[in-house]
Structure 1
């Protein structure tokens, strides 16, 4: 079974279970806040996953690699400012001011990104799916607040459930794939 279908089925089952629990044990007006929070959170997470998947697929198609493997991850974490590098630098007394300024200017230019790179990296953040999902989230909150139906505890729980469920399912799927590769 594809993971997308599994995620949808589990989200639907959890939603039905929570609605039945709210009807049974709590005030029926809490359903509005729970449903709007749950659906908008599910939309945001799903849209984020789709946008990220599309971005990764296009980068794979165009063979774009953005990971810099010149430094080890541990080196980056332990020495982020490259204080303990093996490249010896000349003492400052040997360098003249003009050479230092030119060298620093070259470093700044090499670290700066072009407009194309910035737009390429923000495609996932500015995708239509995610923007639409966030608009639904904001409008849902405003609707609940305006009509006096906003119950904060049920809304917060509803916002937190879908990310937790999706992360749990993805971790479970990854563990299953890892077990398959080991065998």
Structure 2
């Protein structure tokens, strides 16, 4: 019978993502994660095999967390343009840093598939909210949702970049398609 883990994977994954966000790929070494998580480096090697395996596991876990946040935001946001704005604001709340960390890291095909699945889910939710008008064509709502997603993600990534990253683009302008 195996003994219980003294430090849960969720904590390790969080530490790895924080190190990635603050210092890039090289900052997430076994030594740095070991020190920050309070877990022996040998335990990390046993769990993840390699530094790349540990980083990949943290990114996969991050996409899972982001998809759960997306589902929660989708369940809470009403239909209509205001609902689209509310949906995106909920995704940003507590998830903006995670999105900024995950979006640029898609070299691995599996991570790219997770990113694509998340993008498609967000766009589908936006299309539901944008396309609620009388006589609105589904294709037009999907196109508007695609543009809204691209503008929103670009704005979010620039804001997360730090000082000087503000774009002045407002969510309601993005969702209503007047940007």
Shared fold by TM > 0.5? no
**TM-score, normalised relative to structure 1:** 0.24
**TM-score, normalised relative to structure 2:** 0.24
Greater RCO (CA < 8 Å, at least 6 residues apart): 1
Larger radius of gyration: 1
